[in-house]
Amino acid sequence: MATPSPSLFQPALVREAVGQAFVKLDPRTMFRNPVMFTVELGTAVMFLVTLGLLFRPDATQGSFGYNVTVFVVLFLTLLFANFAEAIAEARGKAQADSLRKTRQDTPARVRQPDGSFGRVSSAQLQKGQVFVVEAGELIPTDGEIIEGLATIDESAITGESAPVIREAGGDKSSVTGGTKVLSDRIVVRVTTAPGESFLDQMIALVEGAARQKTPNEIALTILLAGFTLVFVIVCVTLQPFARYAHAPIAVASFIALFVCLIPTTIGGLLSAIGIAGMDRALRANVITKSGRAVETAGDIDVLLLDKTGTITIGNRRATHFWPAPGVSEGELVEAAVLTSLHDETPEGKSIVELARQGRRLDEPALQQRALGGEPIKFTAETRSSGVTLASGQRLRKGASDAIGSLAHAAGQPFPPETSQHVRTVASNGGTPLVVSENDRILGVVELQDIIKPGIQERFERLRRMGIKTVMVTGDNPLTAKFIAEKAGVDDFIAEAKPEDKMQYIRAEQQGGKLVAMMGDGTNDAPALAQADVGVAMNSGTQAAKEAGNMVDLDNDPTKLIEVVEIGKQLLMTRGTLTTFSIANDVAKYFAIVPALFMVAIPALGALNIMGLKSPQSAILSAVIFNALIIPALVPLALRGVAYQAVGASALLRRNLLIYGLGGVVVPFIGIKVIDMLVGLFL
């Protein structure tokens, strides 16, 4: 469950942001933002000019009050820009403070070389050490369960109150420091060095310490710096023209013109937009290792999704036994149960439950037969599992082609009737598990899963955004095709092995596409590392979390869709505010340029289409509007532009209409209203 977003302007956050706005006036800090740094230089020049007029008035530079007003407005422009960044950072720091309360220096019982357990502080735990945690105790640091299983309360990290089960082996073995064991006992191996736990990473990210500018943000900063340089040249070369026209321009007017021409709006909000994008991802309970990952998610072309748990509910249940010709149902049931007694997966447990229904199952006898046997765990390579009993009897269950290969290698036939059962089950969207005894085919166990409600609508939204969805499953092609068509995905990879995912991702990337995927197992790690956006689940293995560039704390397989939407919203917000900022300048030209030359060149009065009262009021109105528009847009920068699942061309038309045309019209209205108010005091 995502962390609820607090009010944008809480009094405590505003007070802290105001203080930081003054701190950020340090030129060493401002230098990182070329646009606002030049505004600061202009403000410094205005301060010196105003100070000079205090001791030596100069009619050509305007009145002292006029110059003071321009200086104050420019100074406020700097503070407003710094405030936008500071309020975004303050929101992150407030979240970091709440996370610090979660991080406690808890005692840990560490396994000693002699097998005993000694107590040490959680801050002293080193990677590779082993500790034990029992019911009612906090997990001291991040790790991977190597023995036992437990019910764990992860609400301190994820905000989700429902407890989860974590167990050794499989893809649900990871635990997070600061969470609480509610039942049972687990033995955990430390997987992170001191100061590198998820809580530490989250705190660093929300405080902004780990935030680096993304490639798009760097490119936009360079573009804005180029615009600023162009307008520096424009303003410098304007002075000779003014002298030629016998229209002396005051320093205040020059600086006001320059500040209004350069893209101060987007320059002041750019950092806040980036910080807010990271903040939105974290509030969705996704840890991003860099802002680049969030931004890349907004440009994704292909999305790989696991079938189980993402497209379907995930808990496949056995629904029917289909014995092969010459095999009794009891024989098939006994073999299926024996292969499942050591199988802790939901599928294995459901086979035992189905066998108990309406049958006289001698379970104690079967358990006795299974004692001393060698369990064979399921792997992505073999796509089968089972048991080799102490008597040497080999019992296996798995995908039809995997079990069929074993039968073929042993010279055993694959009954046509069983093949038909496999096709029938698969065609109905089920998963057929073929059971064999010493490589002799005994029959099929039918597993059924349910497609998640509403998943078709989500895929349709992605399709409208131009994103291709690909379902990844270990099922046979018939089952995969049925589920893919019913769910509405664009493509599928059936009988998928780890290398199949890698090959698919590479093929798409070679075609110039950006690919995202989600995984939780060690076998997903290569594909997560290869994908442009790899989201690992927090409950997954350490290998998966290290390979991905995002970690989902909620362990929600559909979160990848939300991550894509967050990334697109970040790009949309930056694009729309840039459009608005540049469009803003049009009205300022019509306000300031006529004001500078109207006295010397009366014909330029025709450009005063807003009917501004005087040259001084026109300049002041433009500068004041330029300052006020920054705080007015702070809520939009922090919340993000309202997201809509539409294509790129439709999005461009919408943004040009609302923020392009709006960016032209709003300043005309705003400057005129301010001019009417300023005129009352001039």
Q: Residue ranges for the binding site?
A: 343, 347, 378-385, 397, 520, 524
CA distance 515 to 71: 50
The residues pairing with 174 across neighbouring beta strands, listed in sequence order, are 144
DSSP 138: B
**Residue 442 is inside which H or E element, if any?**
strand 440-448
| Binding-site positions for Mg(2+) | 520, 524
CA nearest neighbour of 449 among 315, 311, 310, 307: 315
Of the CA atoms within 13 Å of residue 111, those in its CB half-sphere come to 15
CA distance 395 to 336: 8
Q: State residue 186 phi and psi, 5-degree precision.
A: -130, 150
3-state SS string for 245-272: CCCCCCHHHHHHHHHHHCCHHHHHHHHH
Among candidate residues 142, 200, 279, 306, the one labeled active-site is: 306
b/e map 187-218, b = 16+ CB within 10 Å? bbbbbbeeeebbbbbbbebbbbebbebbebbe
The structure tokens listed for 117 are 């357990």
Which distant-in-sequence residues (6+ apart) come within 8 Å of 227 by Cβ? Answer: 35, 262, 263
CA distance 483 to 491: 11
CA nearest neighbour of 3 among 142, 98, 138: 98
CA distance 577 to 2: 26
| Intra-chain end-to-end CA distance of the chain, in Å | 56
Which distant-in-sequence residues (6+ apart) come within 8 Å of 534 by Cβ? Answer: 516, 517, 518, 519, 527, 528, 547, 548, 549, 550
- Between the CA of residue 221 and those of 214, 270, 275, 387, 574, what are the distances in Å? 10, 8, 15, 62, 12
- 153 is known as an active-site residue: no
Which distant-in-sequence residues (6+ apart) come within 8 Å of 620 by Cβ? Answer: 66, 69, 70, 73, 256, 674, 678
Q: Which residue has tokens 């009205």? A: 587
CA distance 424 to 476: 12
Q: Which residues are catalytic?
A: 306
